Amino acid sequence: MRAAALFVLLAFAPPAGAQEDVAPDGPVLRVEFDETEAIPGQPLSLRMTVLVPTFLPEPPVWPSLEAPNLLVRLPERSTNPTSARVGGETWAGVTRNYRISPMVPGEFAIPPQEVVVTWADPESNAPARAILRSEALAFRGVVPAGAEGLDPFVAATSLELAQTIEGEPGAMTPGDSVTRTVVATVAGTAPMFLPELMPPVAIEGVAAYPDEPLIAETDDRGTLGGSRTERVTLVAEGGGSGAVPAVTLDWYDLETGRVETASVEGFAIAVEGPPARSVAPGRDWRRIALGGLAALAGAAAAVWLQAPRRAAARPAAGGPARGAAGLRGPCLCRAAPGSGAPRQRRAPPRARHLGRAPGRAGSARRPAPARRADRARRRSLRARRAAGIRRPPGRRSRKRCRRSASCAHRRPETTPLPR
């Protein structure tokens, strides 16, 4: 009885493949990531495929997959059209290929990514937008056995060093120069993984001027390669001699599985002549000069900013005998004979400006005829004084009052010179 019931269920049940091959209602995202371990600098292949039941009026918007210590590259012709069976039907789509290379050993994780797809609706052919999400990806960067001591770690199929020397390093005089060029050519990895090649040069009487490294990359059907070029110019500044060190680089051969060494020889350098004058360490004359100029500029700016304050403080510092114009105001009184009052002196010529506006002396320039008349009166006054001619009787001299600022005869405005 049980066998008969089981036979009936199996006979009328739908096949398992038919349940899995049911076509979805919208676009589909497929991710292929087979390898999960790689040597630092070597790429892993990641493929993303978008499939739709109709067609794609616009290309999908793919993720960048950027992460720390991870090199993500797109090979030549990284995006291609494709087709696949979905639910028993043939769907069209697009495939994007990535090359992911760990730059250092360790664990790596790529979070879920989004792909924006614009596809044609099967009923109206109107553009429809969908966002597809992938699952998180995890992989490792592993250093092969026997290469744990490499620092920095470089793995390639081939690596060569070449050197070019321009000039005569063994017979130099002050002012001569020698140029050293070292080129590292690598295959099987990107040249950006190559470290700095030339060590620093420290020779007495010789100055080193390095250029910026030049990196050139090649891609031969998916095989990365390229070169790194370093150039330094050695200039003789004084007598001395020394040795320019050799260049060595240890690397891991992916084909043989062994650690290899690439190197170029160093060379001796000699400069004839007196030794160069040594400069005290840490002393930069250009910085000292710039600092002095900055200090002078600051002092000049401080003086210029303080000038208005000093000008405003002069009337107060001069005591109560100064008027509103910063000068001692004239007094119309004359000390009576026998009064015991001190005799008052005449104001300085610069204070007796004629008919000028109150304020700073010389702030307003009088017309030319008035200035000529003033000069004529001054000449006449000097001539009468030289001849001993006194002022006419009854004319009162206008002198300054130096006793106090509360003098009733003090007048803040200026007074013309006597005729």
Listed as ranges, residues in the chain with pLDDT below 70 are 1-23, 276-287, 309-364, 390-419
Q: Which residue has the tokens 């009923």?
A: 123
Q: Give the CA radius of gyration of the chain.
A: 48
pLDDT the model gives residue 171: 86
> In 3D, which of 89, 107, 91, 120 has the Cα closest to residue 30?
91
How many independent structural domains does the chain possess? 3
Is residue 181 included in any domain, yes or no? yes
Is residue 2 included in any domain, yes or no? no
pTM for the model: 0.57
Is residue 77 included in any domain, yes or no? yes
Cα angle for residues 330, 332, 335 (degrees, 5° grid)? 105
Is residue 311 included in any domain, yes or no? no
pLDDT the model gives residue 326: 41
Q: Do 97 and 165 lie in a common domain? A: no
Q: Do 31 and 117 lie in a common domain? A: yes
Q: Do 83 and 128 lie in a common domain? A: yes
> In 3D, which of 169, 281, 171 has the Cα closest to residue 234?
169
Q: Do 118 and 194 lie in a common domain? A: no
Is residue 279 included in any domain, yes or no? no
Is residue 47 included in any domain, yes or no? yes
Q: Do 390 and 359 lie in a common domain? A: yes
Is residue 276 included in any domain, yes or no? no
Domain around 224:
155-271
> In 3D, which of 397, 354, 401 has the Cα closest to residue 378?
354
Q: Do 402 and 328 lie in a common domain? A: yes
Q: Do 134 and 186 lie in a common domain? A: no
Those residues with Cβ within 8 angstroms of residue 258's Cβ, 6 or more apart along the chain or in another chain: 146, 252
Q: Do 166 and 133 lie in a common domain? A: no
Q: At 387, which amino acid appears?
A: A
Whether residue 146 contacts residue 140, with contact meaning beta carbons closer than 8 Å, is answered with no
Q: Do 33 and 137 lie in a common domain? A: yes
What is the SS3 assignment for 45-108? Answer: EEEEEEEECCCCCCCCECCCCCCCCEEEECCCCCEEEEEEEECCEEEEEEEEEEEEEECCCEEE
d(C-alpha 384, C-alpha 215), whole Å: 96
Mean pLDDT of the chain: 79
Q: Do 28 and 59 lie in a common domain? A: yes
Q: Do 26 and 133 lie in a common domain? A: yes
Q: Could you tell me the CATH number of the domain that includes residue 133?
A: 2.60.40
d(C-alpha 288, C-alpha 293), whole Å: 9
Is residue 310 included in any domain, yes or no? no
